[in-house]
Amino acid sequence: SIPLGYFGGIGGAAKRGILVKGSAFLDTLTAVKTVVFDKTGTLTKGVFKVARIVTKNDFSESELLKIAAKAESHSNHPVAQSIREAYGQPIDDADVTDYEEIAGHGIRAKVNNQVVLAGNDRLLKRENIDHDNGNVEGTVVHLAVDGRYAGYILIADEIKDDAIKAIQNLKSLGIEQTIMLTGDNRIVAKSIAERLGLDSYMAELLPEGKVEAIEKLLSRSGKNKVAFVGDGINDAPVIARADVGMAMGGLGSDAAIETADVVIMTDAPSKVAEAIQVAKKTRQIVV
């Protein structure tokens, strides 16, 4: 039989907006020593704003933004939403064809029969397009039209107010390692990791790179457990792999909420420490 204290633990967590899918995960939570976070939408707000447009090869700013908005017209990625918002007009996508969204890279589509690329450094390298390295602090969306570099759009996301507290509270609970995984560039990742006081970070990861990173941590952790916290956009497979997979339910995708062992109903990363604390208290009562 399941000790009564566990029901108290699960109920107590639920009252705080933390859904634990079974008492076994309360036990696992008490043994967590490593907490791994996704960046976008988990530690940051996931709401990007266009900060600057840098044009090259005779493209004008308005041309660049219009082409970008068209190329991004069908994407749900937060990056795409920010570009459409900066464009600020209804997008006529009648001339957008051969649309392809490449995870961890960006978009390849035809706009008015010209091949348009909108994405990161990796996308342009893959297509052999000479471009600025975009060595600036922020997420960079490069644009190329028919093999010609057109410039880039610099976009910025903000750290959640709650994220600093989230990391501090984990440290106070004795968590040994806090790590961030992201598909975004190293400059952005380094800056966020420093500002939050994370122990380490890995940047420029493809979705499968995040899975590999978690597997490596799991293989080294022994009886210490590894938790992963994500918002579910591209990270449901990582949530599934961790000892404790946690989905932030505020914005989270259905797939992530389904696979997660713990669902945080708000978008506050400090709930991770709260979940561990509730689990530890429950254990003291039960044992």
Contacting residues toward ligand ADP, per CB under 6 A: 38-40, 72, 75, 77, 79-80, 101, 104-107, 118-120, 139, 141, 182-184, 207, 233-234
Q: List, as one string, the DSSP characters of 70-95.
A: HHTTT--SHHHHHHHHHH-S----TT
Residue 230 identity (one-letter amino acid): G
Of the pair 210, 225, the CB lying nearest ligand ADP is at: 210
Length in residues, the chain = 287
Between CA 240 and CA 106 the distance in angstroms is 25
Distance CA 95, CA 64 (A): 16
Q: Which of 68, 96, 145, 233 binds Mg ion (CB under 5 A)?
A: 233
User: Shortest distance, CB of residue 103 to Mg ion, whole angstroms?
Assistant: 11
- Min dist. Cβ of residue 41 to Mg ion (A): 5
> Binding partner of residue 118 among Mg ion, ligand ADP, none, CB under 5 to 8 Å per kind?
ligand ADP
Span interacting with Mg ion, options 26-34, 110-118, 148-156, 225-233, rule CB under 5 A: 225-233
3-class DSSP assignment, residue 166 = helix
Please answer whether residues 191 and 137 qualify as being in contact, where contact means their C-beta atoms are separated by less than 8 angstroms.
yes
Tell which one of 23, 28, 40, 185 touches Mg ion (CB under 5 A): 40
Catalytic residue among 27, 38, 58, 93: 38
Q: Quick check: is 235 catalytic?
A: no
d(CA 35, CA 82): 29
Active site residues: 38
